[in-house]
Amino acid sequence: MRRKDPFFYYGGKLLSFLFSVFLLSLAAFYVARLAPGDPLVSYYGDRAEKMTVQERAQAESRLGLDQPIHVQYVRWLENALRGDFGISYKYKTDVRSVISARLPNTLLLGGVGFLLIFAGALALGAVCAWHEGTRLDRFLCRAGTIVSCIPEFWLALVLILVFAVRLRWLPSSGAYAIGGGGFIDRAVHLILPLTVTVAGHLWYYAYMIRNKLLEEVRADYVLLAKSIGLSRRAVLFRHCLRGVLPAYLSLMAISVPHILGGTYIVEMVFSYPGIGTLSYESARYQDYNLLMLLCIMSGGLVILCNILAQIVSERIDPRMRSEEPPEVTG
Amino acid sequence: MDERFVLVGPRTPVLPPSRRKKWYEGKPLLSMALLAVILLGCLGCELFMPKDPVYMDLFHAVQAPDSEFWFGTDTMGRDIFSMIWYGGRASLLIGALATAISTALAVLFGAVSGLAPGWLDGLLMRLTEIFLSIPSLLLIILLQAVLGKASVASLSLVIGVTGWTGMAKVVCSEVRRLRSSEYVLAAKCMGAGFFHVLGRHLAPNFFSSIMFMVVMNVRSAIAAESTLSFMGLGLPLEIISWGSMLSLAEKALLSGAWWIILIPGAFLVATLLCVTNIGNWLRGEGDRRESNL
């Protein structure tokens, strides 16, 4: 009963996206408010602890924290739909400006990292499949497994120890030097965080490409292609890789939030001013409005990417549609 | 070779006259042995620890490895050699407990979702997706706050509860495949309950396909413990684990004390690598046919 009309198809996807984001915001709102902790501390700092009962009550009612949670939620939702996400308790400015000051840093790190992982995994997987069973393939598999076992934070620590503390070649923290900010300066500050981000994910995807390609070269059409005289290279890159690509694309769509989320830890270790450190702070210190917008953004990205992956696999690769098992009842 | 004459077709490799495989071939023996050493060392650490791992000897803080302190001491003057084995217990225990929790959740959720009618299955899967899209950091902070001060049990629960969704999907699709087989129908007709069908008929059949994920879950739980403790969200300094030992790393960086960072990390990575190798072996090789390429 799949509707072929693209209007219904994409409309349905849009509706389910909006509904999921709504549920997500509801869940995040309740989870954040139910977590013990004092949001006044993030607004007033240490002064919050010395407040009298009346001052507290006043402060709470000014921030709207004295209402029951569902009332607070409805009010938040009304404002959010008008594009007003409130002010950050800690930074005392519009949460949008707090986030937009940091977002480019994370997008730079995550975006470049994602592209490197995407291209690198494809190349590495293809190299392994091309040289299947040889010493190079075995070496790459061994090395990849070892690297993928190293926790990101520890790799970051070791790199800082070697390249920043011992050799003093690279800076250990931040996104740019004080007063700096030119292209070279930024690039130098990106090397270590980027290395950790890429090393943490690369092998997972490369190995998947390798295994899918190895399945693919055992298919019968490869025999046909070879018997009509296509070279080994043409078969692998023009035909087998194409068969693998849809699955890879949909996997990569799902992985966008993973890779962006993985920068959390990297940002923390390198004190890189990005969304990751911001989320950590806001969740830790009950900066509700900031936390909500960050949750909606990151959660929305997860849901969006999942839907994109579905669309890729359903629309681009016709095999995926027919492979769906028929519904069995019983 | 002349490119115009390429032999096409399955090649039959010339094999030596059929040789029985030795029992050890294809098994990750080195990983198993190393993991066994680490496990036994952690379990029986009282037998050979030279120092009390919790004793803070402030006169000997931040000492490089020497003949008295084989792996050096940390910033609080504790003997790292003793801490490694003693703290490994907490790390490994969390790995096992968290995996048990997430496996139980995954099997239960996957089976319910796989046996349910299509619309309920869709709804449950959508709910999992939303659960997944709540940043896990927020969930972890919330759970930690609700459970009180972090301990081995609470951290295992937190890691277990946030790490079951991938396996649940596999269980669900396996159950979906199995549920209309004759023996399940027969059991149902004879009035078997949900848990009977799950335990007797479904679990033995999907067990092999999730075995690999279970082992990989142990690995990610141990890694999660160390990461959380490092970030200050997991075990506090006085509960020794590989993660909490590494939470001193920031201070160690300032003083250039490489042994505080490298030694616990090396044990951590070695354990993770052994577990991964065993997991990969359990997953087994895929298609063993000759390549057509």
Kindly list the domain boundaries of chain A, sorted by start residue: 6-81, 102-320
Quick check: A268 and B231 CB within 8 A?
yes
Return phi, psi of residue A253, to 5°.
-65, -45
Structure tokens at A116: 């490197």
Q: How confident is the model at residue B45 (pLDDT cuts 50, 70, 90)?
A: confident
Determine whether the interchain pair A226/B6 forms a contact, defined as Cβ–Cβ distance below 8 Å.
yes
Cβ-based contacts of B246 with chain A (< 8 Å): 153-154, 157
Give the percent of chain B with pLDDT over 70. Answer: 87
Subunit contact B262:A158, Cβ cutoff 8 A? yes
Q: Which of B220, B169, B144, B126 is nearest to A302 (CA)?
A: B126
Q: Closest CB to A302: pick one of B132, B139, B290.
A: B132
Q: Which residues of A touch B142 (CB under 8 A)?
A: 31-32, 34-35
- Higher-confidence position of A243 and B138: A243
| Nearest chain B residue (CA) to A207 | B280
**A residues 69..98 contacting B (CB < 8 A):** none
- At position B277, the amino acid (one-letter code) is N
Average pLDDT over residues A285-309: 82
Structure tokens at A127: 């190299």
Of A166, A148, B241, which is closest to residue A157 (Cα–Cα)?
A166
Average pLDDT, chain B: 82
Distance separating alpha carbons of residues B227 and A154, to the nearest angstrom? 8
pLDDT at A324: 47
Nearest Cβ partner for A218 among B141, B269, B291: B291
Please give the residue of chain A at the shortest CA–CA distance from B148: A36
DSSP assignment of A39-85 equals HHHHHHTTHHHH--HHHHHHHHHHHTTTS-HHHHHHHHHHHHHTT--
Integer Cα distance of A63 and A39 in angstroms: 10
Report CB contact under 8 Å: A154, B6: no
What is d(CA A283, CA A289) in angstroms, rounded to the nearest whole number? 10
Look at B139 and A31 and tell me if their CB atoms are within 8 Å: yes
A residues 26..65 contacting B (CB < 8 A): 27-28, 31-32, 34-37
Which residue in chain B has the smallest CA separation from A239?
Answer: B293
- A20·B276 Cβ contact <8 A: no
Nearest-CB residue to A157 (from B185, B261, B286): B261
**What is the domain partition of chain B in residue ranges?**
83-288
Q: Which of A130, A153, A282 to mutate to test the interface with B (most CBs of B within 10 A)?
A: A153
A162 lies within 8 A of chain B by CB: no
Q: What is the pLDDT of residue A319?
A: 59
Q: What is the ipTM of this complex?
A: 0.84
Q: Which of A161, A227, A232 sits opposite B261 (nearest CB)?
A: A161
For chain A, the helix, strand and coil percentages under 3-state DSSP, each to the nearest 5: 75, 0, 20
Question: Which carries the bigger pLDDT value, residue B172 or residue A260?
Answer: B172
Whether residue B17 is predicted with pLDDT greater than 70 in this model: the reply is: no
Task: Taking residues A267-275, report their average pLDDT.
Answer: 84
* Position with higher pLDDT, B244 vs B60: B244
User: A157 to chain B: which residues are within 8 Å by CB?
Assistant: 246, 249, 253, 261, 265
- Pull the structure tokens for residue B257: 């004390």
Percent above pLDDT 90 for chain A = 11
Out of A253-257, A262-266, B25-29, B92-96, give the one with best mean pLDDT: B92-96
Tens digit of pLDDT for each residue in A144-167?
999 989 998 899 999 988 888 878
Per CB-CB distance under 8 Å, the chain A contacts of B290 are 218
Residue A320 has pLDDT above 60, yes or no: no
In terms of pLDDT, which residue wins out, A35 or A17? A17
Identity of the highest mean pLDDT range in A6-10, A202-206, A283-287: A202-206
Q: Assign B20 a pLDDT band (cuts: 50, 70, 90).
A: low
Nearest CA in chain A to B140: A283
CATH class held by domain A102-320: mainly alpha
Look up the CATH number of domain B83-288. Answer: 1.10.3720.10
Residue among A204, A210, A201, A274 nearest A244 (CA): A210
In chain B, residues with a C-beta closer than 8 Å to the C-beta of A217 are 291-293
Res. B222: pLDDT tops 90: yes
CA-based nearest residue in chain A for residue B258: A161
A142 contact residues in B (CB cutoff 8 A): none
Provide the pLDDT for residue B83. Answer: 87
Question: Which of A132, A157, A303 lies closest to B291 in CB terms?
Answer: A132
pLDDT digits (tens, 9 = 90+) for B117-151: 878 888 887 788 777 766 676 677 777 766 767 78
CA distances from A175 to A274, B74, B142 (A): 9, 30, 30
Q: How far apart are CA B81 and CA B287, in angstroms?
A: 45
CB pairs under 8 A between A and B: 158
In A, minimum Cα distance to B181 occurs at A330
Supply the pLDDT for residue A37. Answer: 66
CB B88 within 8 A of CB B49: no
Contact B53, B83 (CB under 8 A): yes
Query: How close does chain A come to B144, measured CA to CA in Å?
Result: 9
pTM: 0.83
Whether residues B256 and A24 touch (CB distance < 8 A) is answered with no
Minimal Cβ distance to B268: which of A35, A151, A329:
A151
Confidence band of A179 (pLDDT split at 50, 70, 90): low
Residue carrying structure tokens 């040289």? A131
